[in-house]
């Protein structure tokens, strides 16, 4: 019988300690982007893991103190975003955006949730680049109404290929990484 009372006292003491902490709402999401590059000699796999954690205190309105259903106050959340890069991916924790050159013009590559966007400083238009659902090593983009496929080479350059109906060939353009 002593053990039952002792267990009950410990349980109630633990409950009292738990009641003293400020409740928090935590949203934790992790997205992993994996690309595979085959350069003819070897197959390299790059992984980018983006983790976004939002912590927000749960506070209730003082005017509803004695009610069962209380109104929740809006509190500011603390957002922490981390990026974990493996292998030779051009994106790093410090570099979520990089500068590339295409035909002598600078382009900015900026990481996003589902891939990245390409921005041109002389134009306000953004080109969305999304990772392919079927092949993690390839990215799909639309430029001037045409769908193009791209991938990163071992030097971090972004190579884009499209089919040209006029010449009946695959045409490539290379975004060269500016070091």
Q: How far apart are the first and last CA of the chain?
A: 74
Residues with Cβ < 8 Å from 114, sequence gap 6 or more?
A: 130, 131
Question: In the chain, where does the domain assigned CATH 2.40.128 lie?
Answer: 97-177
List, for residues 55-110, the tens digit of each pLDDT value: 888 888 888 888 888 888 888 888 877 665 544 456 665 667 889 999 888 999 88
Residues with Cβ < 8 Å from 37, sequence gap 6 or more?
A: 43, 44, 45, 46, 137, 151, 152, 153, 154
| Fold category of 97-177 in CATH | Lipocalin (2.40.128)
C-beta separation of 101 from 175 below 8 A = yes
pTM greater than the 0.85 cutoff: no
Strand order across the 43-57 sheet: 24-38, 43-57, 78-86
Looking at residue 176, what is its pLDDT? 92
The arithmetic mean of pLDDT across residues 149-174, rounded, is 87
CA dist 110 and 115 (Å) reads 9
Looking at residue 174, what is its pLDDT? 93
DSSP assignment of 46-105, as one string? Answer: EEEEEEEEEEEE-EE-GGGTT-SS-PEEP-PPEEEEEEEEETT-S--SS-SEEEEEETTE
- The answer for 64, left when phi > 0, alpha when psi is -120 to 50, beta otherwise, is alpha
Instruction: Of 107, 146, 156, 149, give the one whose Cα is nearest residue 131.
Output: 149
Which tokens go with 64? 């509803």
């Amino acid at each position: 019988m002593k053990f039952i009372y002792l267990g009950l006292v410990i349980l109630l003491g633990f409950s009292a300690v738990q009641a003293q902490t400020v409740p928090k709402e935590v949203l934790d999401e992790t997205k992993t982007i994996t690309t595979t590059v085959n350069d003819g000699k070897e197959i390299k796999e790059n992984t980018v893991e983006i983790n976004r954690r939002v912590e927000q205190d749960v506070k209730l309105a003082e005017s509803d103190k004695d009610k069962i259903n209380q109104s929740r106050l809006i509190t500011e959340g603390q957002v922490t975003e981390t990026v974990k890069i493996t292998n030779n991916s051009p994106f790093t924790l410090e570099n979520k955006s990089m500068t590339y050159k295409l035909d002598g013009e600078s382009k900015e590559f900026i990481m996003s949730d589902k891939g990245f966007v390409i921005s041109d400083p002389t134009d306000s238009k953004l080109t969305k680049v999304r990772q392919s659902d079927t092949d993690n090593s390839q990215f799909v983009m639309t430029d001037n109404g045409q769908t193009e496929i791209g991938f990163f080479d071992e030097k971090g350059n972004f190579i884009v290929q499209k089919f040209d109906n006029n010449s009946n060939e695959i045409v490539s353009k290379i975004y060269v990484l500016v070091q």
